[in-house]
Homo-oligomer: A and B are copies of this chain.
Amino acid sequence: MSNDFATVPEQEPDIAAIQAAAARIRPFVRRTPVVSDESLDEQFGGRLFFKCENLQRGGAFKLRGASNAICSLTEALAARGVATHSSGNHGAALALAARQRGIPAVVVMPENSSAVKLAAVRSHGAEVILCPPGRIAREAALAALIARRELHVIHPYDDYRVIAGQGTACLELIEEHPEMDIVLAPVGGGGLLSGTAIAARGLLRRVRVIGVEPEQADDAWRSFKSGERVLLDAPDTVADGLRSSLGARNFPIIRRCVDDIVRVSEDGILRATRLVLERLKLLVEPSAAVVVAALLEERLDIRGRNVGVILSGGNVDLETARWLRSSP
């Protein structure tokens, strides 16, 4: 892949890069609404502004980063086609963005991906290659794929173009609500959190940016607290979009621009997912609901604050989502 790097930015994005990404992807992504609910504000004591990336095309924020990466490709790189590994949402987003540009896409996905996510990737015209679950297996499968075929890899989070794209959700949120004191985002591989942090710090002087992670996949928390990037192989959490470990490019940004990372329990995640459905009338993935879980479990104090929440996605397999069926 070394020849790719000549054309791929190897400099951390700043706020200008996120603004450029926003202009580049505007025709391909939705400007998602921001919603509020007085009953939740009362319950948690702050004013909450939910940026609804579950209403994004493809059902998640991932289209922002994928579109920015695909739109940034030279004609020569684009002609080779693109590949990635993904537990689902990035794969679907890359497939959608690639189809928009008319280039082939191949997505390596774990065999235990939800049926909804597999179907979404295929419905956008991408080729799917299944691999065993876990970080090591999926990285090996992607490496084997690009050894055979000359595809350009767009990593789901460890890529500056992707990071800049993901930051555009927070950019839009703060453009509409510049009064934000705190911004909350889930953290898996760190694409969303690093982009969010760059956007928030670039626009607001005194904002706090906090990442939220499942206790059962707490590599980002461990990395943040120890100062050393910790990798987990196949953590088990209902927040399936957050099983990835922090990327090499994401970690330094998060160390520098994020104020804290807090962890939430599985039970809290399930209760939060239901709460968002019941009160906000929004279907979100458990991976998106972790930020609300942090409020429910009092891991964060937001009293008197204006708080932006990136609701990252809403791709749920209704047939198997046990949290829909009964109170946890």
Contacts and interface: CB of A to CB of B under 8 A. Distances in A.
A73 B52 CA distance: 37
Interface stretch (A53-61, A79-87, A184-192): A53-61
A55 B319 contact: no
A277 interface: yes
Q: List the number of copies, as a whole number.
A: 2
Interface residues of A, number: 27
A45 interface: no
Contacts of A148: none
Interface string A295-328: 0000000000000000000101011000011010
Nearest to A282: B281
A154 to B, nearest CB: 22
A325 B325 contact: yes
Contacts of A316: 278
A38 interface: yes
A6 B55 CA distance: 47
Contact of A281 (B36, B39, B55): B55
Contact of A35 (B33, B319, B325, B327): B33
Contacts of A57: 38
